[in-house]
Amino acid sequence: MLGAIIGDIVGSIYEFENIKSKEFPFFDERMEYTDDSILTIATADWLLHGGNVGYYYLKYATDYPYPMGSYGTMFVEWVHRSRRGVMQPYNSCGNGSAMRVGPVGWAFDTEEATLDAAKISAEGTHNHPEGIKGAQAVSLCIFLARNDKSPSEIKDRIQSDFGYDLSLSVDEIRPRYSWQGLDGMISGGTCQGSVPQAITCALDAKSFEDAVRNAISIGGDSDTIGCISGAIAEALFGIPNDIRTFGKQSLPPALLAIVKEFENQYRYK
């Protein structure tokens, strides 16, 4: 799951200043973890220790209330309601469900269990069918990649199982993509407007770093697209040691401790 965190960190400074190029410093002192990393780690904590996944998202949002870029508006409203004892999902199809699901792809031995857990992780907040679908698609990509399926095999499964159109290459997506999504048709802040593109950025890559560079280069919600692509790319390629070190050094001790605990239990499952 460290791949998701690294993708988030690298994308953090480009979320609102899209770069539209793969040529940028991969390590930059301005980069920070955002809500994407915080909630990804919350998912990992839930998988490690059990219970209601919503309580983990509430706890982490409470413990880390001011991440770079803040949390999404609807999620913040959910946090406030939950603190008052009303923890109900809000029918969101936002890409928050997909960006935080990475750990699920590592934690189970079967596709069925992976998809079930992805659904649970999504529907505590993002119970819209597209929100659930986005989380399931990302978790299945990771599950298939760590079980030695090729990018072409993964692409075929995602297209057939979820109906996502993965026909465009990264080079074809880049000039047509923005915060308004592909050609402005579907918002790039939704699962349906960003998950297919993030998956393509990973599947078209030659390495972990190349996947993250692909993700940042298309623009839009850069930290979240980087987070999703990085999560999948870790399972496809692994992470070079220098990049792993960069990711770990970017986290405070309490968050890093959960990452280490999760990797010790699930990374080589």
For 208-223, how does the pLDDT look when each residue is reduced to its tens digit (9 = 90+)? 999 999 999 999 999 9
Average pLDDT, the chain: 97
* Sequence-separated (6 or more) residues with CB below 8 Å from residue 180: 187, 188
CATH code, 2-266: 1.10.4080.10
pLDDT above 60 (res 65): yes
Domain ranges for the chain, please list them: 2-266
Cβ neighbours of 22 (radius 10 Å)? 17
Q: Are 157 and 144 in contact (CB under 8 A)?
A: yes
| H or E stretch covering 177 | strand 177-178
pTM, two decimals, is 0.98
User: Above 70 in pLDDT, residue 269?
Assistant: no
pLDDT of residue 268: 57
